[in-house]
A = this chain, B = another copy of it.
C-alpha cells in the first residue's frame, strides 16, 4: 500500500486537521467525536441540514459544509458509518427551534447509526427528521438486498435541500422536497481499479487488466457484474441506458447530469465521458439543463466514474442555481 499517511488509525483525524486549517473561514472542526460544522453555526431560525457517513468519499460530506448546503458533516472512520454520538454532536452544534434534516445514504450501518442518533435527538426535544437516499440503480431494490445504495444523488440532494433551508423553508417543506428529489434521481457507477482502505492495506478487490466492475458502489464493495473493459462510447452508453431506463427518464425531460469521478480518474477522461453522455441524452430527446462534472463523491483512489441524472423542474433548477459557498462547491446566483 502506498499512501501519504502516518498511522492508518489516525488518517481521518489528521486529515480533518488539514481541512480545518485550509477552510477556517467556512468551517470549524470538533474532535472526539469528529464533526465538521459551519463556522457560523447554529444559524438562527434555519433548518439544519446534516449528513455524514464513512470517510474516504471526500469531498463528500465535509467539503459541502457552508452557506447554502450543509450545516454539519459527520465523518466516520474510512468506509465506516459514524456512531450515533458523533451525529448527536452535529445536531447539538447546529440545531435549534427550526429542527434538522439528516441525510442518510442507504447502507445498513448508516441507517442504524443515524436512527439511534435521531432517537437521542428526539429525547432532547429536538425536531429531527431523516431521509434515506437510495439512487443506485445497480442494486435490485428487493427484499433480497439491503436495498439500493445512496451514491451520487446524495451530492445533489445536499445542495438542493441546503438551498431550500437557506431560503427559509420549514422542516416539513425541506423534508418533502428531499423525498421528491430522492424520487427522481438515479445513478450508476463503474470501477476500473479498486481502492485500498488504509487499515486493510490491500486493494479491496482484484481486477484483471481488461476487466471492470459495472455497478460499483463507493466503498470498495465489488460491483454487481464484472465485464470487459470497452471503449468509452460503449461504456458510457451502457451507463446511460441503465440510468435512463430505470426511472425512466423520457424524451422531453429536463435533467441535471452529474458526471462524477470516483477519485482516481483524471479530468481528461471524465470530461470525455461527460461529452458522450451529453450526446446520448440529446439523442434520446432529454435536455441537459444543468451539469456538474468532477470528483465529488469518491472512493479513495479508485479509478472509475458514476453518472447521476436528476429530473428537474423550475423549482429544483432554481434551488440548484442558488448560491453556495463550501470548500468543494461554490457559486453565486
Contacts and interface: CB of A to CB of B under 8 A. Distances in A.
A39 to B, nearest CB: 15
A147 B69 CA distance: 46
Interface stretch (A55-63, A119-127, A168-176): A55-63
Given A6-B231, A21-B278, A266-B263, A11 B301 contact: no
Contacts of A78: 268
A314 interface: no
Contacts of A229: 2
A196 to B, nearest CB: 10
A126 B231 CA distance: 44
A276 B18 contact: yes
A192 interface: yes
Contacts of A298: 266-267
A117 interface: no
Contacts of A295: 267, 295
A303 interface: yes
Given A268-B58, A268-B78, A4 B232 contact: yes
B11 A209 contact: no
Interface in A1-58: 2-6, 11-12, 14-22, 55-56, 58
B6 A267 contact: no
B6 A233 contact: yes
A287 B289 CA distance: 44
A193 interface: yes
A244 interface: no
Of the four ranges (under 10, 10 to 19, 20 to 34, 35 or more), the interface on chain A belongs to: 35 or more
Contacts of A144: none
B267 A301 contact: no
A107 interface: no
A163 interface: no
A229 B2 CA distance: 8
B268 A11 contact: yes
A185 to B, nearest CB: 19
Interface in A275-304: 275-276, 278, 288, 291, 293, 295, 298, 300-301, 303
Contacts of A300: 266, 268
B59 A267 contact: yes
Given A56-B268, A330-B331, A274 B18 contact: yes
Contacts of A267: 15, 58-59, 63, 295, 298
A305 B4 CA distance: 9
A6 B264 contact: no
Contacts of A146: none
A17 to B, nearest CB: 4
Interface of A: 2-6, 11-12, 14-22, 55-56, 58-59, 63, 78, 192-193, 209, 212, 229, 231-233, 235-236, 259, 263-276, 278, 288, 291, 293, 295, 298, 300-301, 303, 305, 330-332
Given A18-B273, A59-B267, A263-B266, 11 more contacts: A2-B192, A2-B229, A5-B269, A6-B231, A15-B269, A17-B272, A18-B272, A264-B266, A264-B301, A266-B298, A267-B295
The 3 closest A-B pairs by CB, nearest first: A18-B275, A58-B267, A18-B271
